[in-house]
Amino acid sequence: MSKFALPALPYDYSALEPHIDTMTMNVHHKGHHQTYVNNLNGAIQGEHGGQFKGLSIENIQRNAVKAPDAIKATVRNNGGGHFNHSLFWTLMAPTGSANSAPHGDLKQALETEFGSVDEFKTRFNAAAAGRFGSGWAWLCMDRSGKLFICSTPNQDNPLMEGISEHVGIPILGLDVWEHAYYLKYQNRRPEYIAAWWNVVNWDKVVENYSHAKQQKTPVFDVPLA
């Protein structure tokens, strides 16, 4: 039976320097993300994982609340970790290789919902900096087509109906676990957040927004071994 595999990064580990350092990218991808993949595979291939065998990573998110008690925490945490990180890598690009600002319909939607792109960033930064402990900040679309900002704890995400307080399709997400920034920024999370905007792949975010308008989740590589 096929297992989930670690997706390759769409750029070199050093490509996001100086904003995201090479060592952090190595540890984050090869260490943390690989562990989520391994643990998820172990849970869904074990004796309690039958209902999750063959499901896409998206559908595992949507059904995490229904997992048997014996594997519920593992599926929630590691399935979320695999989905979140597989999306996260695509949301960044080396400086100069993608549009440096939102554009098209997404730019207009951000201005309509938040007043300006700068105000959107201010509110997103507050969600990311204000997440107590480990978690994520998100820009999402709800079922009515409205954009909203939220944060989730640990490896939860807005696809997790019955778990997440805010349900919607994630368009942009920022990892604010300490492992995402501590080697370079130590306890200076706001500095990491500010630096991250320099490597946001706005072309991908615009693509995600286009999918969300059709109530489709972002497209990214989820390889099987």
Residue positions forming the annotated binding site:
28, 85, 175, 179
Residues annotated in a binding site for Mn(2+): 28, 85, 175, 179
Helix axes 117-130, 189-196, angle to 10 degrees: 140
